[in-house]
């Protein structure tokens, strides 16, 4: 497909549903070949089929981000097939149980930090050489308002997202003169499975769809990123039809 990302390679984590799936589709519509990763192979196939049906191209790569060595192996496999990576989207995350910090089990707290922060560092570390080869390249990280405005019961998730923002800003500062720039995206209230878990009494019809966030990300990347890390908050858009 032709478009601003024609001939470019993107990798999107958590691409089996929600914002990840819609971002992968948006990037593919803009011409990128997209590598789709998530734990759920069935969801990845659905995303891949939708991309192919629209005339785009994609490759699925089922991956459990909790397994750091598998991240390294994926990077090696991609490096063996493609010369460079131009867009890396860090979307996959887990919410964990919303509860007082003192009531959360150590095991679950560590699992949230491991997936939402440590695995994100493993991805940056593993794909850094490919991003350098893809210059100008973009690192996109999905965050949340709780990263900067702490909220009761959101402790583990908020701490992980705050750490992720700092991590991405640090990497962007290190890469400022090397052509790899970052976009930190706060999607705001969006109709996703995670949002439904966090706010079970909320009417999903009042929320914008994940495709609104995806289009905002694609448009910002197509416009080009300045050196360093930029912030993008996606305000309310049209909700999905009932």
pLDDT tens per residue, range 18-35: 999 999 999 999 999 999
What three-state secondary structure class fits 236? coil
Q: pLDDT band for position 1 (50/70/90)?
A: low
CATH of domain 9-233: 3.40.50.720
What is the pLDDT at residue 242? 43
Query: What is the spatial distance between Cα 209 and Cα 223, in angstroms, rounded to a whole number?
Result: 22
* Rounded Cα–Cα distance for residues 48 and 56 (Å): 9
Does the annotation mark 153 as catalytic? no
* Active-site pick, 5, 127, 154, 157: 157
> pLDDT tens digit string along 152-189?
999 999 999 999 999 999 999 999 999 999 999 999 99
pTM: 0.95
Token representation of residue 35: 């590598």
**Structural domain spans, the chain:** 9-233
The predicted-structure confidence for 118-129, as pLDDT tens digits, reads as follows: 999 999 999 999
Residue 134's SS3 state is: coil
> In this model, does residue 101 exceed pLDDT 70?
yes
């Amino acid at each position: 497909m032709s478009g601003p990302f024609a001939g470019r390679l993107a990798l999107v984590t958590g691409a089996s549903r929600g914002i990840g799936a819609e971002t992968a589709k948006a990037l593919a519509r803009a011409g990128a070949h997209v590598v789709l990763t998530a734990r759920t192979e069935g969801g990845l196939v659905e995303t891949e089929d939708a991309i192919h049906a629209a005339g785009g191209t994609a490759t699925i790569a089922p991956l459990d981000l909790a397994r750091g060595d598998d991240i390294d192996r994926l990077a090696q496999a991609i490096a063996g097939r493609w010369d460079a990576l131009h867009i890396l989207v860090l979307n996959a995350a887990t919410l964990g149980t919303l509860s007082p910090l003192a009531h959360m089990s150590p095991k679950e707290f560590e699992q949230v930090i491991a997936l939402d922060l440590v695995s994100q560092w493993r991805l940056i570390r593993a794909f850094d050489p490919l991003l350098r080869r893809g210059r100008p390249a973009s690192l996109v990280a999905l965050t949340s308002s709780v990263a900067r405005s702490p909220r009761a019961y959101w402790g583990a998730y908020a701490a992980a997202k705050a750490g992720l923002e700092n991590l991405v800003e640090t990497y962007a500062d290190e890469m400022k003169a090397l052509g790899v720039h970052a976009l930190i995206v706060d999607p705001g209230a969006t109709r996703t499975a995670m949002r439904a878990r966090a706010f079970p009494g909320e009417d999903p019809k009042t929320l914008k769809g994940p495709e609104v966030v995806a289009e905002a990300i694609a448009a910002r990347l197509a416009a080009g990123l300045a050196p360093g890390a930029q912030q993008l908050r996606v305000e309310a858009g049209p909700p999905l039809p009932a």
